Amino acid sequence: MEFASLAELADLTCASISTVRRDLTVLESQGAIKRTHGGARLLNMKSDEFVFDLRLSQQKQEKEAIAKACVELIQPGQSIIIDAGTTAYCVAKLLEDKLPQIVTNSLPVANLFASNSSVEVVLTGGVIYPRLGVLVGPLAYESISHINADIAIMGAGGITLDGITNSHGLVVEIQRAMIKSAHKVIMCMDHSKFGRKSISPLCKIDEIDVLITDWLAPKELIVELEKLGLHIIIAKQG
């Protein structure tokens, strides 16, 4: 069994401690974890599955709406880079009818299409970062750097007028390669990421083409971002 503190889980998932507490209560009711003082212990689940599923459960309705809006921008047969974020994963779940060629460093995305003969998936090499289910390191970076893709679908930990940030330096390195390798960059970020700065700078606002968010995103910051020339799409509720 593996222990994680509330503070550690909050940092890994870019969520508040109160949100983590609520999600842990749900996971405990499902028999996946055992709550302890100041954190939780895994019972029958691997750490990468635990952290990814925890993040996926947060702002679930908003992420699914963002994914639907994103898929509308994608044409059949396009080559698409998909990063390891949970919102990007929600997009991947809706891509089958587009018959895309997918390049990803996300193990959950790769597993999603493992038995699907209609979707071509290129999985980067690299070292497995198990807590996030992602491939990182020099091999992953090199794989992405030599790709020419139509679209990159990405997520991040925070966005302000200063730019976009993320929580994990190794992941940011790969994401920067994704931005350089794609003709069009679509950033998918729910409202909880607005006004937030994570530890590692990812890119400036003018390095992305489209930002898709949900109906709860702060209007004031949206207006200011649009003044910087960013095209923003608000996903429809429901």
Both tokens assigned to 112:
């999603």
Which tokens belong to 36? 């302890």
CA 190/CA 122 separation, integer angstroms: 27
108-150 pLDDT, tens digit per residue, is: 999 999 888 889 999 999 998 877 789 999 999 999 999 999 9
What tens digit of pLDDT does each residue of 188-215 get? 999 999 999 988 999 999 999 999 999 9
Q: Mean per-residue pLDDT for 57-67?
A: 86
Can you give the pLDDT at residue 87? Answer: 94
State pLDDT tens for residues 146-179. Answer: 999 999 999 999 999 999 999 888 899 999 999 9
The amino acid sitting at 77 is G
d(CA 49, CA 59): 18
- Better-scored residue on pLDDT, 53 or 74: 74
17-32 burial, b at 16+ Cβ within 10 Å, e below that, comes to eebbeebbeebeeeeb
Of 47-51, 54-58, 115-119, 181-185, the poorest mean pLDDT is in 47-51
Which domains are assigned to the chain? 3-57 (no CATH), 60-234 (3.40.50.1360)
**What are 84-103's pLDDT values in tens digits?**
989 999 999 999 999 999 99
Identify the pLDDT of residue 58. 67
Q: Give the 3-state secondary structure of residue 215.
A: coil
* pTM of the predicted structure, to 2 decimals: 0.78
